[in-house]
Amino acid sequence: MSLRSRLTFFYSAFFAVILILVAVVVYVLTERSLTASLEEQGRQALHDLREGNIDQGLSRLPGDAYYEIVLYLLDVPKTSVELIEGLRYSEFQNVSRTNPTKDDLPSLLGESSLDELFDEGSVSTRVVLESGETLFVLADRGVGRLRFMQRETTYPATLYIGIPADSVAATLSQLANNLLLTILLAFLIFAAGVWILSHQVLSPVQLVTRASSRVTGKDLTQRVPVPNSSDEMKELADSVNRMLDRLQESFETQRRFTADASHELRTPVTAIVGHTNYLLRRTSPKSDQVDSLTVIRREGERMAKLVNDLLELARADAGFSVEHEMVDLIDVVEAVHMDVAAVAGSTEISIDASKPRIEIMGDPGRLKQVVLNLVQNAINAGATKIEILVVDSNRGVNLKVLDDGPGIPDNAIPHLFDRFYRVDGSRSGRGKGSGLGLAIVKWIVQQHNGEVAVESKVGEGTVFSVFIPSKPTLSSEVTLKETLTQTLNIFRSGRGESNKG
């Protein structure tokens, strides 16, 4: 999930929670307000009934409301149960208004409500009629007035008012639907706004990301555009650019050191190997001296190869590209076979090609270096059989070097093409590798727009696969003149010393 999506999601979720909380508060306050309004309306009606203003009290009630006055003509009730055993006013008097149904309001009250009415003198509760309708009931103990023979008589009484609560429920249901619709609409508008605004806010980050992605080990000149503002994004861009400056300086220093050190070492190493060969051929050293000179020559040759490998990688880092011409890959493979035959010992090397000639565009010297490094790597690993397989296809040429060596552990395969990486154990047991050969192989193959891969099983062998497309294009757009200009400062010192020598 992108940062823009996460910002939209989290801010919208937070906004939705706030909206839900506000909606819940509005719903609860509205419910309490409606309930209080009904209760106030019922208490005003009870007050009028208690004062004998029955018609006025009933006029305050909705048309579907219930009422009842229970009169106690003989004695005041002694228990809560006796509260509902009096004379019903609606049955005794000729009243102008009747209840919507024949439900007896006092009989609908539960035992706990009657106890509260008896003890406290009033109660408010909810009851359910036989029809399922819910009533909000208010009851109050007081007096009731009866008119008999043109005389008005006052008796103890209990007054009941029942107001349908379904109207409140309907109002609250409509309110809930409206709130839900409002929340949904507000959420969508807010989420769209955050999505649009986050694009504006994060556009500098996207510029930094795109610029950073163009920075590679071969091109550290790219810089992050600095926004024309005074916020955190400007500080971030400045910090990244300062980091790239330090990184570029460090890389350039490392490259100059590698190139200079390699050139400085080449002359004395060459001199050591040359003089050692002279002593072995032109003098008559003793047997122990021959052994010492042989060791010196072998280690000098190994050092010379290491120096050459370092120079190769220095050229790769400097942006050198390889030459491209028509080359017969079969000739390259056979030349490698002839070169390694003398040092292969008991290792059997075979070549298998799909065609007698397989031509591609490439650098013959570099391609020979690829095959030679892979074959020499297999020999150093202790392989007894090595097969070089070359297959031509419509897409390109597949070159495979198969050996029956001890294999490579799975955890080492991802690092095989790293510089100076050497596998612990079987494949480095002879100590002949510098850890640079496969890194050079990868660079040369990439210069041919190809790919190199490895498959291996411990105890069974290893397969290095190189694929080179049929019509490669130059992987580097830098011309030879531009490349030499870029690397002049790197190799100036080394070339100057070599010329003096």
- Euclidean distance between CA atoms 282 and 279, whole angstroms: 6
Q: Residue 21, exposed/middle/buried by CB under 10 A (0-12, 13-18, 19+)?
A: exposed
The reply to whether 402 and 313 lie within a common domain is no
Same domain, 71 and 157: yes
Q: Looking at residue 92, what is its pLDDT?
A: 66
Neighbours of 470 (CB within 10 A): 13
Token pair for residue 497? 């010393």
- Residue 218 covered by a domain: yes
| 282 plus 329 within the same structural domain | no
Encode pLDDT of 233-259 as tens digits: 778 888 888 888 887 787 777 777 766
Domain final residue pick, 172, 201, 223: 172
pLDDT band at 217 (very low <50, low <70, confident <90, very high): low
Please indicate, yes or no, whether residues 468 and 392 belong to a single structural domain of this protein.
yes
Q: Which helix (H) or strand (E) holds 470?
A: none
Mean pLDDT of 474-496: 41
Residue 482 scores a pLDDT above 70 = no
Range of the domain at 121: 6-172
Non-local (6+) Cβ contacts of 186 within 8 A are 15, 19
The answer on 352 and 220 residing in a single domain is no
Separation of CA 463 from chain center:
36
Place of tokens 């203003």: 53
Residue 95 pLDDT: 65
CA distance 123 to 113: 7
Residue 500: band (very low, low, confident or very high) from pLDDT cuts 50, 70, 90:
very low
**Angle subtended at Cα 310 by Cα 304 and Cα 311, rounded to the nearest 5 degrees:** 90
Which among 151, 164, 36 is positioned nearest to 105, based on CA atoms? 164
Residue 299 lies in a domain: yes
Which of 79-83, 189-193, 485-489 is predicted with the least confidence, judged by mean pLDDT? Answer: 485-489
Boundary residue ending a domain (172, 191, 222): 172
Query: Is a pLDDT exceeding 90 seen at residue 311?
Result: no
Residue 200, domain member (yes or no): no
Co-location of 382 and 350 in the same domain: yes
Give the Cα separation of 231 and 241 in Å (integer).
16
Q: Tokens for 313?
A: 């990688």
**Same domain, yes or no: 151 and 71:** yes
329 part of a folded domain: yes
Cα 473 from chain centroid (whole Å): 36
Residue 464 lies in a domain: yes
What angle (nearest 5°) sits at the alpha carbon of residue 302, between those of residues 451 and 305? 45
Q: What is the pLDDT of residue 484?
A: 37
| DSSP-H helix ranges across 381-473 | 437-447
| 430 confidence band (pLDDT: 50, 70, 90) | very low
Residues 294 and 398 in one domain: no
Which CATH number do you get for residue 389?
3.30.565.10
Structure tokens at 459: 């105890």
- Check if the beta carbon of residue 486 is closer than 8 Å to that of residue 478: yes
Structural element, H or E, at residue 157: strand 151-164
The domain total for the chain is 3
When pLDDT is cut at 50, 70 and 90, the band that residue 501 belongs to is very low
Which of 274, 306, 249, 318 minimizes the C-alpha distance to 435?
306
158: closest CA among 142, 147, 145? 142
Handedness of CA 14, 15, 20, 26 (dihedral sign): positive
Q: What is the pLDDT of residues 366-415, one digit of tens each?
A: 898 899 889 988 888 888 999 999 999 888 999 999 999 888 888 888 88
Residues 160 and 220 in one domain: no
Residue 262 confidence (pLDDT): 67
* Alpha helix stretches (DSSP H) within 286-354: 287-318, 329-341
Task: Say which CATH number the domain at 293 has.
Answer: 1.10.287.130
Name the band, by pLDDT with cuts 50, 70 and 90, for residue 28.
very high
CA distances from 183 to 72, 100, 194, 480 (A): 55, 39, 16, 66
| SS3 of 242-289 | HHHHHHHHHHHHHHHHHHHHHHHHHHHHHHHHHHHHHHHHHCCCCHHH
Residue 483 lies inside a defined structural domain of this protein: no
- Band of pLDDT at residue 485, cut at 50, 70 and 90: very low
Instruction: Give yes or no: residues 300 and 376 share one domain.
Output: no
Copy the structure tokens of residue 465.
Answer: 């696969």
Q: Is the pLDDT of residue 487 over 60?
A: no
Instruction: Determine contact, residues 26/179, Cβ cutoff 8 Å.
Output: yes
Whole-number Cα distances in Å, 464 to 258, 417, 461: 28, 12, 10
pLDDT at 133: 85
Nearest to 62 by CA among 170, 215, 167, 205: 167
Q: Is 475's pLDDT higher than 50?
A: no
Residues above pLDDT 70, as percent of the chain = 85
**Length of the chain in terms of residues written:** 501
Strands (E), 423-473: 451-457, 461-469
What whole-number distance in Å separates Cα of residue 111 and Cα of residue 103?
A: 17
Cut 0.85: pTM above it: no
Residue 181 falls within a domain, yes or no?
Answer: no
User: What three-state secondary structure class fits 136?
Assistant: strand
**In degrees rounded to 5, what are phi and psi of residue 130?**
-60, -25
pLDDT, tens digit, for every residue of 451-462? 999 999 888 899
Identity of the amino acid at 403: D
Q: Is the pLDDT of residue 496 over 80?
A: no
**In whole angstroms, what is the distance from residue 332 CA to residue 369 CA?**
9
282 and 345 within one domain: no
pLDDT in tens, 51-97: 777 778 878 888 888 888 888 877 888 888 888 888 887 776 666 67
DSSP string, 167-228: HHHHHHHHHHHHHHHHHHHHHHHHHHHHHHHHHHHHHHHHHHHHHHHT--SS-----PPPPS
Position 269 in a domain: yes
Judged against a pLDDT cut of 90, whether residue 21 lies above it is answered with yes
Reported as a single tens digit per residue, the pLDDT across 118-169 is: 888 888 888 888 888 888 888 888 766 655 445 667 778 888 888 888 778 8
Q: What percent of the chain has pLDDT over 90?
A: 15
Whether residue 160 is found in the same domain as residue 301:
no
Quick one: residue 299, left, alpha or beta (phi over 0 = left, psi -120 to 50 = alpha)?
alpha
Angle subtended at Cα 336 by Cα 440 and Cα 329, rounded to the nearest 5 degrees: 80
In this prediction, residue 6 carries a pLDDT of 84
